[in-house]
Amino acid sequence: MHDGKKPFFTDNCNVRDKKPIGDIDILMKNLNPFSNKLETKDGQLLNYTSGGERHCFLLHKGTVLLYRKIDGMVLNSESAPYVFGLSTQLTEPDYLFIRIHESSEVSYLPLEEANKIIERENLWKSLAHLLIFTATRVYDHCAKISALSSYEIICYQLYELMYETEEIRENISTVSYVMNRTFLSRSSIMKILAQLKTGGYITMEKGILKAINHIPSRY
């Protein structure tokens, strides 16, 4: 199965390692005093707009998933700390929604007010670093699920799953995780996962991914 080429989906090149936590903390420190706390529960949906007003969300604790509304596909997952809404100001307001995945602490404020605070406090550098990180994650995601084989897409998703919090990893089957984020069929996913497990390349227990030992670059 291995051709000696370096796989693009190795676990030492994850974009999440470059998360600008310091800059995100600066943004949240300045935005939080003007935000309102939300009472959240697992599975709760958050829309970027309500009453015709766009919102900016501050994720203080926990993990959330970002969905595309038209087909329910998971585009991204993010753990605290994070600021949502600043990078989607030009998108259609109903294009995306957020889903609370576990016990999380979230607050919100009007997007217009968030923009004014950023301008008043001269937070452009921190905002730029957040936007660069967000854009890089989107690009990385698109590059690794476009024009690739089913095998490569699945391998990429396996590494993404290993980077999730333990709460997420232990509460979703590997098959469901991949299906929610791709257009691959259940049968093709299960076939490749079974072969990777049989070959000792991954460790799964009751459908839950426990470890990635070594994944060949080619199938």
- Does the structure show a pLDDT above 60 at 7? no
Domain range 149-212, CATH class: mainly alpha
Comparison of pLDDT for 163 and 33, the residue scoring more: 33
Q: Do residues 161 and 177 touch, judged by C-beta distance below 8 A?
A: yes
Listed by start position, the domains of the chain span 15-142, 149-212
**Model confidence over 45-76: pLDDT tens digits?**
999 998 889 999 999 999 999 999 988 889 88
- Does the structure show a pLDDT above 80 at 10? no
pTM score, whole prediction: 0.83
pLDDT at 17: 82
Which sign, positive or negative, has the C-alpha torsion 24, 26, 30, 36?
Answer: positive
Q: How far is it, in rounded angstroms, from Cα 155 to Cα 181?
A: 13
pLDDT at 141: 78
**Model confidence over 11-26: pLDDT tens digits?**
445 777 889 999 999 9
- Does the structure show a pLDDT above 50 at 1? no
- For domain 15-142, give the CATH number: 2.60.120.10
pLDDT at 13: 52
pLDDT at 197: 96
pLDDT at 12: 46
When pLDDT is cut at 50, 70 and 90, the band that residue 173 belongs to is very high
**Model confidence over 127-158: pLDDT tens digits?**
999 999 999 988 887 877 775 789 999 999 99
